[in-house]
Homo-oligomer: A and B are copies of this chain.
Amino acid sequence: MKTATVYDVAKRAGVSRGTVDRVIFNRGRVSQKTVEKVREAIRELNYSANPSASALASKQIHCFACLIPQHQKGEYWDVVDEGFKHGLEEITFCNVDLRMYYYDQNDIESYRKMAAEILELRPRGVITNAVFKEAVTEFSYKLKDLAIPMAFIDNKYDDLDFDIYCGVDPYNSGQLGAYLLTVHQKVESVAMIRVVRDSGKHADPNAPRRHGFVDYIADHFPDSAIYTLFIDPSSSESIASSMDRFASAHPEVRHYAVTNSRLFLIANWLKDNYDPERVVVGFDDLEGNLKAMREGLVDFLVTKDIPGQSNYLLTNFVRNVIYSQPPKVKNNYVHMDVLSKMNCNK
């Protein structure tokens, strides 16, 4: 059986194809009575547009904006960025123009500034991540006023109004890290390392992961100590000296977890102070982290398909917005992967 075309719908509704088009895209300038006739014909014929033909005929360009942290090559957000680029290629036929905006994770004002620019652009949709609660909230309200849909990538604020989200369950990722760190072990103390510059002003989207980590340890090893150690990554000397200081103060600690993605920054120290008894767990399969794993400095890495996640979000969000359909699932939790030395290549 052939599928229905605009032409069939038009005939059925007793109007012309142009009118059908106006109804489908709510372009107005159609009498209410006609609208209903057309809607009914569409339903009866179970019509849905042929996407190839739409893409071919449409000249419109759909502009989207994306606001994420600025980053260096090889860092977490760089990989996220890659995923967006890939996704963009997959939907070339949708004619979307994706504008990237970057903010400074140490500076809430930079977020506000970029958000303002985006508002001015009036894009068809906006993608961002959850960092500065206050600024993101303001932004989301303003977008709502303009009826611009918004999507969260990587992490989210559940009480805000967004259309679609894609990321892992951060609390659970922390639990998984703790499990791997301690599996088949007796544990008396663990170190939780946070590699952040400027820990005071820095946004802290990783808190839920740390909570998951801490809760797991507390549940399974109630007598274990949990030390939190801040490492300032600004110079390799400061990294080494902080690590040295901690290690000599707590020589009994054998279990180390780095709860953000920057394990690779302490790889040198781990190597220079190698201890076969030490167990190390990190997060995210950045090239630097994988390298450390191949060198035997890390036992497990909790990760996910980082570019796949942003790719997925973009392609779905764009399709939803363009064809004004709600997403099939709003909260897309991607699954977590576990990497060990045996499966960290490719």
Contacts and interface: CB of A to CB of B under 8 A. Distances in A.
A155 interface: no
A184 B281 CA distance: 14
A346 interface: yes
A206 to B, nearest CB: 18
Of the listed residues A175, A176, A336, the one surrounded by the most CB atoms of chain B closer than 10 A to its CB is A336
Q: How many identical chains are in the complex?
A: 2
Interface in A27-53: 50-53
B346 A338 contact: no
A225 interface: no
Interface in A277-304: 279, 299
Interface string A53-76: 101100000000000000000000
Contacts of A172: 342-343
A340 B176 contact: yes
Contact of A52 (B52, B184, B335, B337): B52
Contact of A346 (B333, B337, B346): B333
A339 B180 CA distance: 11
A338 B335 CA distance: 11
A1 interface: no
A323 interface: no
A51 B54 CA distance: 12
Contacts of A340: 176, 179-180, 183, 338
A93 interface: yes
A185 B186 CA distance: 12
B53 A176 contact: no
Interface centre among A93, A279, A338, A346, by most B CB within 10 Å?
Answer: A338
Contacts of A56: 50, 52-53, 56
Contact of A176 (B179, B183, B337, B343): B343
Interface in A151-199: 172, 175-176, 179-180, 183-185
A50 B93 CA distance: 8
A42 B175 CA distance: 54
B93 A51 contact: yes
Nearest to A174: B342
A346 B329 CA distance: 13
Contacts of A93: 50-52
A346 B335 contact: yes
A312 to B, nearest CB: 12
Nearest to A54: B52
Contacts of A184: 183-185, 279
Contacts of A333: 346
A32 to B, nearest CB: 33
Given A172-B342, A179-B342, A336-B343, 16 more contacts: A50-B56, A50-B93, A51-B52, A52-B52, A52-B55, A56-B56, A172-B343, A176-B340, A176-B343, A183-B183, A183-B299, A184-B185, A333-B346, A338-B338, A338-B340, A338-B343
5 contacts: A52-B93, A179-B340, A179-B342, A180-B340, A333-B346
The 5 closest A-B pairs by CB, nearest first: A338-B338, A52-B55, A176-B342, A52-B52, A184-B184
